[in-house]
């Protein structure tokens, strides 16, 4: 059976970190029964594992650069295979066109749709600097690098899926409850 795959982008014209992705993914899991797979969480867990790849991942993340596709895809694929659910919500991946093409080629899976959450860069920066989760990538220099990476590479992924009619755009600058009302409207037809 082919899994139902939703790629979640809570992002904006200027980048995506800090748009409330974790909050909305938790709501989607609770209300619609999807398994949430965060590429960032999987990478951070691998970085803390002490493995050879873990050290490289930690160094790349602290610099705000994208981890090689093969590594992230292997972590995502492993997580999917270890889960009994066939409905997955993946966030934070693909980050660029090469990630997208590699994921679809290796797994044979294309998402049903892509959530694109629009939020101003100023609001995302404010959220990141106040969330205080102790993450190595939540500092002003890395945050701004992440915004730049989005503009240079992730927007191509959004444009690709938009050309296929798969992008669902939601205003993420509103309060979380209002954002989730818009999310529910997107998910309702596929329940």
174 assigned ligand-binding residue: yes
Distance of CA 116 to the CA centre of its chain: 10
7 assigned ligand-binding residue: no
22 assigned ligand-binding residue: yes
50 assigned ligand-binding residue: no
Quick one: which of 114, 125, 135 has its CA closest to 62?
135
144 assigned ligand-binding residue: no
131 assigned ligand-binding residue: yes
165 assigned ligand-binding residue: no
- Spell 50-70 as b/e; 16+ CB within 10 A means b: eeebbeebbebbeebebbebe
27 assigned ligand-binding residue: no
92 assigned ligand-binding residue: yes
Q: Name residue 23's beta-bridge partners.
A: none
Supply 95's token pair: 């980050």
18 assigned ligand-binding residue: yes
15 assigned ligand-binding residue: no
78 assigned ligand-binding residue: no
95 assigned ligand-binding residue: yes
Can you spell out the DSSP letters for 7-42? Answer: EEEE--SS--TTSSHHHHHHHHHHHH-PEEEEHHHH
93 assigned ligand-binding residue: yes
* Whole-number Å distance between alpha carbons of 61 and 103: 20
126 assigned ligand-binding residue: no
Supply 85's token pair: 């659910």
Give binding residues as ranges: 18-23, 44, 65-67, 92-95, 99, 131, 135, 146, 174
Give binding residues for CMP as ranges: 99
Give binding residues for a ribonucleoside 5'-phosphate as ranges: 44, 65-67, 92-95, 135, 146
Give binding residues for ATP as ranges: 18-23, 131, 174
């Amino acid at each position: 059976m082919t899994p139902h795959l939703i790629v979640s982008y809570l992002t904006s014209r200027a980048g995506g970190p800090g748009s409330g992705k974790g909050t909305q993914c938790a709501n989607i899991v609770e209300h619609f029964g999807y398994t949430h797979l965060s590429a960032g969480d999987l990478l951070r867990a691998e970085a803390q594992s002490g493995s050879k790849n873990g050290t490289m991942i930690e160094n790349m993340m602290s610099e705000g650069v994208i981890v090689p596709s093969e590594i992230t895809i292997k972590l995502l694929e492993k997580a999917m295979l270890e889960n009994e659910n066939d409905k997955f919500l993946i966030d934070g991946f693909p980050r660029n066109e090469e990630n997208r093409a590699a994921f679809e080629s290796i797994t044979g899976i294309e998402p049903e749709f892509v959530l694109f959450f629009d939020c101003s860069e100023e609001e995302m920066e404010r959220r990141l600097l106040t969330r205080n989760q102790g993450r190595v990538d939540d500092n002003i220099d890395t945050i701004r690098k992440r915004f730049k990476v989005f503009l240079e590479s992730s927007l191509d992924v959004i444009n690709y899926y938009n050309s296929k009619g798969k992008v669902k755009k939601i205003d993420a600058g509103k309060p979380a409850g209002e954002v989730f009302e818009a999310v529910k409207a997107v998910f309702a037809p596929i329940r």
